Amino acid sequence: MSFPLANDDTQSDADPAALERSLGQENTPKSQASGDGRRRGATDRRAKSPERETRISAQPAFVLHSYPYKETSLIVDVFSRDYGRVALVAKGAKRPHSKLRGVLQTFQPLSVGWTGKAEIRTLTDAEWIGGLLPLEKAALLCGFYLNELLVKLLARDDPHPGLFDHYVATLNQLAHDEPAPIVLRKFERALLKETGVAGTLSMDSVSGQPVISDETYVVDPERGPRPAHASDNSPRVSGKTLLDMEREDYTDATTQLQSKFLMRFLLAHHLGGTPLNTRQILIDLTQL
């Protein structure tokens, strides 16, 4: 099972450009693509840079998403600890007797290897490590939500070892039936911090003073908390909620409720309007 991405490409003869688009790679602006010969030459030299001629082995990783490529292969989007998100071609993975067939599963710790210099590289090895309980029922849906967030918010080849460790811990918490709303809020906040778009919630961005517990605020996605005004359309939260979120304390029921709507608002902003398919399912089914 994989979460539904709006730009999946399941055609058997997908070309490289289509694969790049389907994995979320940004297109080169026309102004850059139409430069002079000197600029193109520089681009060619960058493409042949030795540092891209990589052979990686025994890298801790998780499958985030996969889909068919040609008749017998898969394109696999993995989240690796030391290299971030990497797109890999798993050749022959769809064949009935392929060793990869039962290994490339979501939410299972893997040790993977790959080679190649392109944006989409070639999987050379994948081994199941184990050590995590499988996700079931609502926890499974939460896991797909985490994966969709990572696919849509993380750039490829951008390492986040701390976030990787947080992801592992989050899967473990979900597997052990810890309260999903609290687990998800902590991960959402960690993800925005790791990608550099979340500042402190404990300081008023207008006055520069500490947030006051019994005051009401809104959070500007680019600047941070500020006092709420009557004309504001964004979610209103108490100073206490912001302070609780800053120290990852979600025991208060009001903090849980306000943080849910605040994080939904912030994620929507940073996704640029791109819908989260699994988030809508969670809203409809479990109100997480």
Answer whether residue 40 shows pLDDT above 90.
Answer: no
User: pLDDT tens digits for 182-200?
Assistant: 999 999 999 999 999 999 9
Nearest to 246, CA basis, from 206, 193, 286, 172: 193
Lowest mean pLDDT among 72-76, 98-102, 132-136, 152-156: 98-102
Q: What's the CA gap between 8 and 30, in Å, rounded?
A: 24
Contacting residues for 79 by C-beta, under 8 A, at least 6 apart: 61, 62, 64, 85, 150, 154, 164, 167
Contacting residues for 52 by C-beta, under 8 A, at least 6 apart: 117, 118
Mean pLDDT, residues 126-137: 94
Q: What's the CA gap between 268 and 67, in Å, rounded?
A: 25
**What is the SS3 assignment for 187?**
helix
170, 194 Cβ separation under 8 angstroms: no
Report the mean per-residue pLDDT for the chain. 84
pLDDT tier for residue 15 given thresholds of 50, 70 and 90:
very low
Q: Which CATH class is domain 179-285?
A: mainly alpha
The neighbouring-strand residues paired with 88 are 76, 121
Contacting residues for 25 by C-beta, under 8 A, at least 6 apart: 119, 156
Answer whether residue 102 shows pLDDT above 80.
Answer: yes
- pLDDT at position 286 is 59
* Whole-prediction pTM: 0.80
Nearest to 219, CA basis, from 231, 207, 243, 201: 201
pLDDT tier for residue 285 given thresholds of 50, 70 and 90:
low
pLDDT tier for residue 101 given thresholds of 50, 70 and 90:
confident
Tell me the pairing of strands 224-227 and 237-238: unpaired
User: pLDDT tens digits for 43-98?
Assistant: 343 334 344 457 999 999 999 999 999 999 999 999 999 999 999 999 999 998 89
224, 200 Cβ separation under 8 angstroms: yes
Mean pLDDT, residues 221-243: 97
**What is the SS3 assignment for 87?**
strand
Q: What's the CA gap between 148 and 4, in Å, rounded?
A: 9
Using alpha carbons, list the distances in angstroms from residue 73 to 68, 94, 147: 6, 6, 21
